[in-house]
Amino acid sequence: MTMPPMLPPQPRSAATLALVAPAAAGRFALQCCKACGNFIYPVRNICPTCLSQDIAVTDAPAGGLLLSETTIRITGDPFFRERPPVRQGLVRADCGVTIIAILHRDCPPEGRVRLSLRLDRGGKPLLLAFPLHPESSEVADDPSLRDLTMDPAAAAAHLADPDRP
Amino acid sequence: MRHGYDGVVVTTPVTVPYQRFSPHAAHWWAGAALRGLAEASGIAHTDMDGLSVASFGLAPDSGISLTQHFGMSVRHLDTVPLGGASAVVSLRRAARAVQAGDADVVACIGADTNTPDSFRQALASFSRFAQDAVYPMGAGGANASFALLTRHYMRAFGATREDFARICIAQRDNALKNPDALMKTPLTLEQYMAARPVADPVHLFDCVMPCAGAEAFLVMREETARAQGIPFARLTAAIEGHNQFPGDPVQVRGGWARDVDVLYGMAGCGPEGIDVLQTYDDYPVIVMMQFEDLGFCAKGEGPAFVRSRDLRIEGDFPHNTSGGQLSVGQAGAAGGHLGLVEALRQVTGQAGARQVAKARRAMALGFGMINYDRGLASGAVILEAA
Ligand SMILES: [Zn+2]
């Protein structure tokens, strides 16, 4: 008898699922207010700057400044408990929002990083940050990131049919 | 100029002794606190006409359900879902209600239970932002959120783990005089430094131990307390603030900093007039921010402050005299009441072995609700001996 694979934390707001399509396509896109032009994160139902509700998911500059970091060694979550410690950072994105992201193992402890929007193993949006050097840094060279994210082929299939396991 | 709290007093500090785990519901703990209030004040719960309750564990109930559960008929009812800031907010609202005559006696209760799985469940369903944008990035909970703030604070202001240790060790020393504290043995610097990392740079002794328990007090007018013949403290000042300083890229201050002058203005004193301080100590970095934001030292001088002061009951800066949440335990939303109840004990001379000599004026602080990247809720009160 095989157990179904354990999934990462699942419950998300309905609004945040707007980030699934760009994540599956490998695009770094966030909500942006069409009225005032400000980017918005975490996902909201209204722009906190001008209270417009005319909001669209828009490609954003992927640069950011890593302000602080931690390594999460103890968690009560059944999915993360079975995996190596997650390196997490607080990133001030160039587009103006603050992002809590999972850090690639080669990110420096502070300084510039490149943000990326991916799908996790459950097909939900995940925020990652990569070092600028080497520029080629990818999910593939960090085993813990590889284990947390859906690979691009699976992501494309997920986008075509989100209900498929 | 804000209206003062003339005529408003706080009475009857009650602690229902904590337990690491409990088979009982939060209702059981809140009910035990209410019984404690009635026994200690001589006021039957059926004669209390106000109830304010804070708890993470009452679902699907709230304060309204508790009126029937406890057999109370009230004129003032509040459910304050503000975690570490809930006691200050409960007290502020209750104070205005009794001052205006909308109610005569308000029972303010913080209570929670702790089952082996309840902590994780609470984390996963804490807020929408947490659910969408924090929990999936490693499920580190509050430990990870405060680790990010702690690392940044250490870099910005030169704080070291040894500085945080001073806070934790002094509180443990205080806790040894508190029979209700879950931690019963001294904490050494060696033990603190050697503790296992939880979310770097946060290690085991920087974290509170979740537990079950309850804390409570009564709010009434002075003439009511006198007629009842119970010790009371005057409420002289109170502030609260939520989502203050949203433009700070990383949190280095709480909402206190915005209204600290209002607080001291109402109390008619400055930081030097505070005889005993109860900070909100979910993590030592937040304690250090409170020393700064409430004007006991300047921003960034928290590390130097803890190196130069003795934070024990008998020291030159008596702080978290119960042992605080770091050594007593954190009973959910009751944790936000621990400091206020201890402050009340101190200025009414009911602190027993923990009594600070000549404690006439005490400050109690609240902080909480990490919604995304920072704690949103802050509050402060000053209580003065009658
Ligand atoms: Zn806008």
Q: What is the pLDDT of residues A48-88, one digit of tens each?
A: 999 999 999 999 999 999 999 999 999 989 999 999 999 99
CB A53 within 8 A of CB A59: no
- Is there a contact between B140 and A72 if contact means CB atoms under 8 Å apart? yes
The superfamily (CATH) of domain B138-209+237-385 is Thiolase/Chalcone synthase (3.40.47.10)
Residue A66 Cα to ligand 1 midpoint, Å, equals 25
The reported pTM is 0.95
Chain length of chain B: 386
Pairing of strands B361-370, B375-385: antiparallel
CATH architecture of the domain covering B8-117+212-232: 3-Layer(aba) Sandwich (3.40)
DSSP secondary structure letters along B219-241: EEEHHHHHHHT--EEEEEEEEEE
Q: How far apart are CA B60 and CA A20, in angstroms?
A: 32
What's the pLDDT tens digit per position in A88-109? Answer: 999 999 999 999 999 999 999 9
Q: How far is A99 from chain B (nearest CA, A)?
A: 8
Sheet holding A29-33, edge to edge: A39-40, A29-33, A55-59
Ligand 1 centroid – CA A38 distance (Å) = 6
Domain boundaries, chain A: 15-151
Task: Assign A2 a pLDDT band (cuts: 50, 70, 90).
Answer: low
Looking at the complex, report in whole angstroms how far the Cα of residue A145 sits from the nearest Cα belonging to chain B: 11
Q: In a structure prediction context, what are the per-residue pLDDT tens digits for chain B, which is 386 residues long?
A: 689 999 999 999 999 999 999 999 999 999 999 999 999 999 999 999 999 999 999 999 999 999 999 999 999 999 999 999 999 999 999 999 999 999 999 999 999 999 877 655 555 467 999 999 999 999 999 999 999 999 999 999 999 999 999 999 999 999 999 999 999 999 999 999 999 999 999 999 999 999 999 999 999 999 999 999 999 999 999 999 999 999 999 999 999 999 999 999 999 999 999 999 999 999 999 999 999 999 999 999 999 999 999 999 999 999 999 999 999 999 999 999 999 999 999 999 999 999 999 999 999 999 999 999 999 999 999 999 99
The minimal CB distance from A68 to the residues B120, B128, B151 is found for B151
How many C-beta neighbours within 10 Å does residue B304 have? 15
| Pairing verdict, β A98-103 and A86-93 | antiparallel
Sorted by where each begins, the domain ranges of chain B are: 8-117+212-232, 138-209+237-385
Predicted pLDDT at B31: 98
Asked if B123 and A76 come within 8 Å (Cβ–Cβ), the reply is: yes
Distance A56 CA to ligand 1 centre (A): 11
Q: Judge if B8-117+212-232 and B138-209+237-385 fold alike in CATH terms.
A: yes
Q: What is the pLDDT of residue A11?
A: 85
- Cross-chain CB nearest to A77 (options B129, B139, B250): B139
- Hey, of B118, B121, B132, which one would you mutate to test binding to chain A, going by the most A CBs within 10 A of its CB? B132
pLDDT at A152: 78
* Token pair of B304 as six digits: 């130097």
Whether B140 and A70 lie within 8 Å, measured CB to CB: yes
Residues of chain A found within 8 Å of residue B123, distances taken between Cβ atoms:
76
Q: Pick from A72, A32, A70, A69: which is nearest to A53 by CA? A: A32
Q: How many interchain CB pairs under 8 A, A with B?
A: 117
Report d(CA B346, CA B355) in Å as an integer.
Answer: 6
